[in-house]
Chains A and B, each alone.
Chain A
Amino acid sequence: MIPEQPEAQRLLVAEYVLGLHSREQSAEIEQWLEQDDDAASLANHWREHWLGAAELLEPVPLPPRLWREISRRTASEDSRGRFDWQWLWQSLTLWRTVSVALLVAVVLLLGPLRVPAPVYTVVLQAPGEAASPGWRVTVSAQGDLQLTPLSESEYPADRSVQFWTLSDPALGPRSLGLVQPGESLVLPASRVGGVESGQLFELTLEPPGGSPADRPTGPVLFIGRAVAI
């Protein structure tokens, strides 16, 4: 529960930056920080200050294998992402769209039995209502994601429901697209990106067509964190 008193809110930010709260409490605070610029700014100020404490640590020697592995993994990421992805995007947009549409159709037609066993699951609940699961997210070993409604919910007809993920507050939330109320959604791994334990997913109510900004602008409808199965 986010307190209403400014003094208590400021203390909560200080505690959050230090990581003093449980994962569930932190999720609620992160959701609040996403929507409160002043609180987010205060969190950044704390992080800047705490850098001074981090600089008291004695640097340790780096094992050579560490850089070799980072270099190898980022090089393979480059070959898949920075070069090929753009090239494919520009030259094969139509093909990509058709492929995704076919994938969605196949998954919907064949049903959940053909979907690989998930490795992560997320139960999206209304904020502050642990007993009100609204949607379920499953992520397969291949990284494909399925969003499934668990209950019937009513949304204003003149608004859109948008799906977001937040892997790290420093990176900010990332849109995973619009959701049709009551309908499942399947996203390929290439669209989802990496999923990690504890990663935040949420649905927000946005203007028609989605948020005009690069972050959620409307109220959070459902929220939850990824749990490894």
Chain B
Amino acid sequence: MDDSRAELEEGNVLLRACASGDRQAFHQLYLNEAPRMLALARRFTGESSLAEDALQDTFIQVWENARRFQSQRGCARTWLFGLLRYRLINQHHRSRRDAFEPLPGDQWPDSGPSPEQCSVEDDQRRAIINCLQGMQMDRRRPILMAFYQGFTYEQIAETLAIPLGTIKSRVRSGLKGLQECLRL
């Protein structure tokens, strides 16, 4: 088992322990996952205090609802990030419209070939990176703005100063390519 798989499995074990009221496991889960979750929350909100509030509320939700985690529907990390993103989307995002800041993936070359041409690794978390790297920049950028910053179609169009119809067309084309690349 490689390190990343071991990390994911540890997350599942810790979350199940949280469901039994194990506070030490809860703290360890926080130490393992919160640093990257806070990074995502900061990108969404653009404000440290809002990001910290969202993270704090998410972990309280995790403690109160750990029993509802179902590992057959995804790993603990996916569940944690899902809770955080949902909270950010519904409570905090939609407030920043002028931010054009560097995103992970910006430095990837605009390789041009369609995502279908990229190879898919067994590890699905790595697969999406491969697929995104094979995508044209004008499709990849708006998709990454949605993922990392929580922007809607309208906000992406406004930020990039590109007509809404064009943005929708590019994002949908990119997502279709991702679907094929990921075999979804």
Which residues of A approach B to under 8 Å, CB–CB? Answer: 10-11, 14-15, 18-23, 26, 42, 44-63, 66-67, 69-71, 73-74, 77-78, 81-82, 168-172, 196-198
Contact = CB atoms under 8 A, between A and B. Distances in A.
Interface in B24-65: 26-27, 30-31, 34-36, 38-40, 42-43, 52, 55-56, 59-61, 63-65
Given A49-B125, A53-B104, A60-B39, A19 B85 contact: yes
A70 B82 contact: no
Given A11-B176, A42-B184, A56-B105, A49 B85 contact: no
A18 B146 contact: yes
B60 A20 contact: no
B144 interface: yes
Interface of B: 21, 23, 26-27, 30-31, 34-36, 38-40, 42-43, 52, 55-56, 59-61, 63-65, 68, 73-75, 77-79, 81-83, 85-87, 89-91, 93, 104-105, 123-129, 132, 143-144, 146-148, 150, 152-153, 171-172, 175-176, 178-179, 182, 184
B38 A48 contact: no
A51 B78 contact: yes
Given A59-B39, A60-B35, A62-B38, A19 B127 contact: no
B60 A77 contact: yes
B156 to A, nearest CB: 8
A53 B105 CA distance: 9
A225 B26 CA distance: 31
B38 A55 contact: no
Given A48-B125, A56-B129, A168-B61, 15 more contacts: A11-B176, A20-B146, A20-B153, A22-B152, A49-B182, A50-B128, A52-B125, A57-B43, A58-B36, A59-B36, A60-B38, A66-B52, A71-B27, A170-B82, A197-B91
Contacts of B87: 168
B175 A51 contact: no
A53 B27 contact: no
